[in-house]
Amino acid sequence: MELDNLDKKILYLLDTDGRISLKTIAKKSHTSAEVVRYRIARLQKEGVIKKFISLVNFSELGYIGHGVFCSFRGDKEREKGVKLLAEHDRIYWLAELGGSYDLAFAIMAKDTYEFYDILNHLKEKLDILLGTWEVAIRIRLIQFPRTYLLQEEEKRSERLPYFGKALGYRQIDEIDFKILKRISQDARLEVNALAVSSGLPPSTAAFRLKKLEKNQVIQGYAPQIVCQNYGYQSYQLFLRVDNLNEQKRANIFQYCASNPNVVFLVETLGKWNFEIIYEVGNQRELQKQMANLRQRFPWLAQMETDIIFDHYLKYDQFPLNRSIGSNQSIS
């Protein structure tokens, strides 16, 4: 699909706030709410917008993200592996790559032992299917809006959705669980519809949703944007930094925050220190990005790149399956 300036403006505004009203988008885009409604529906039909999700910071609930990168021994094995991983209730991200790895997925676990236990169970089922594995503990992830969609220079918000950092241990009850489960994969759901689908009074649903936002369990709302469907491509860059310190960490963050083509920054503990996801028009643009990065930071020790064929085989930051009706809290 070829995007015109109005499509790009609408997509950018949704990317900064997935629950923004049609009226507000119309006002900022100098058009009508009906035109906005039509354009969003078309973006969904053409596969540019896959769905709208809630950005849940599960570290506030006591969970840690662990990235796993792997390769398969063949196409049949890959299909079996994707199905098993997509159905697992602790896997919140699953992507198809090309390069050093075939697949990447991320597991949420309360501690290292639980992650080790989940990974070993997966290995038992997938051992004959997989070639190599690499694990990276996700310290923090920051999501940036796609300012490259706009013609004019746009400063990125100082408050960006993030996941990770220090662990929290907030307790959520069955009502919170229902709300998170419902809205995590349908972020534009209106409060009345959320209340009905969750079996709650509208006032309760609205109050609990606001509380989850205030407590930063919900960091924001965004569309799942498939840039390949408007002619762009995603690349994941793996960076290793020798003698990493706070100044180098700040430099990497400032670079990503000011680069309109960077959509994710992940700080990790493992083979590399950072993962940067770019969305660019072609391979040549990526090469320019990498050359600029090397020139700007001569202390980078190693860089690896994988193309991302499908970033959203699964992306659900609240994938937990717990029987409704349980009185236990998630800790």
For the residues of 134-173, what is the DSSP string, one character each?
EEEEEEEEEE---GGG-SS--PPPSS--EEESS-----B-
CB 331, CB 171: distance < 8 Å: yes
* Class of domain 1-46 as given by CATH: mainly alpha
Res 268 pLDDT > 70: yes
pLDDT value at position 329? Answer: 37
Domain parsing of the chain, residue ranges: 1-46, 59-146+226-315
How far apart, in whole angstroms, are the C-alpha atoms of residue 322 and residue 76? 31
Q: Which residue has the higher pLDDT, 149 or 100?
A: 149
The model's pLDDT over 222-259, given as tens digits with 9 standing for 90+, comes to 999 999 999 999 999 999 999 999 999 999 999 999 99
pLDDT value at position 125? Answer: 85
Res 331 pLDDT > 70: no
* Nearest alpha carbon to residue 82 among 306, 307, 309, 314: 314
State the average pLDDT over residues 154-180. Answer: 83
pLDDT value at position 266? Answer: 96
State the average pLDDT over residues 147-171. Answer: 79
14-23, 155-164, 264-273: which has the minimum mean pLDDT? 155-164
How sure is the predictor about 128, in pLDDT bands with cuts at 50, 70 and 90? Answer: low
Alpha helical stretches, state H, 147-303: 174-183, 191-198, 202-214, 246-258, 283-296
Res 101 pLDDT > 80: yes
Which one of 3.30.360.10, 3.40.47.10, 3.30.70.3460, 3.40.50.620 gives the CATH number of domain 59-146+226-315? 3.30.70.3460
How sure is the predictor about 330, in pLDDT bands with cuts at 50, 70 and 90? Answer: very low
How far apart, in whole angstroms, are the C-alpha atoms of residue 189 and residue 205? 12
CB 131, CB 73: distance < 8 Å: yes
Share of the chain above pLDDT 90, in %: 79
Share of the chain above pLDDT 70, in %: 93
pLDDT value at position 317? Answer: 93
Query: Burial letters for 132-171: b for 16+ Cβ neighbours within 10 Å, e otherwise?
Result: eebbbbbbbbbbbbbbbbbeeeeebeeebbbbbeeeeeee
Q: What is the DSSP letter of 307?
A: E
Q: Which residue has the higher pLDDT, 243 or 325?
A: 243
- Characterise 23 by phi-psi region: left (phi > 0), alpha (psi -120 to 50), beta (else): alpha
Res 323 pLDDT > 60: no
pLDDT value at position 324? Answer: 36
How sure is the predictor about 87, in pLDDT bands with cuts at 50, 70 and 90? Answer: very high
State the average pLDDT over residues 170-194. Answer: 95
The model's pLDDT over 7-52, given as tens digits with 9 standing for 90+, comes to 999 999 999 999 999 999 999 999 999 999 999 999 999 999 999 9
How sure is the predictor about 72, in pLDDT bands with cuts at 50, 70 and 90? Answer: confident
Q: What is the DSSP letter of 100?
A: S
CB 93, CB 136: distance < 8 Å: no
How sure is the predictor about 327, in pLDDT bands with cuts at 50, 70 and 90? Answer: very low
Which residues does 202 contact at the CB level (< 8 Å), separation at least 6? 191, 192, 195
pTM confidence score? 0.91
State the average pLDDT over residues 136-154. Answer: 89
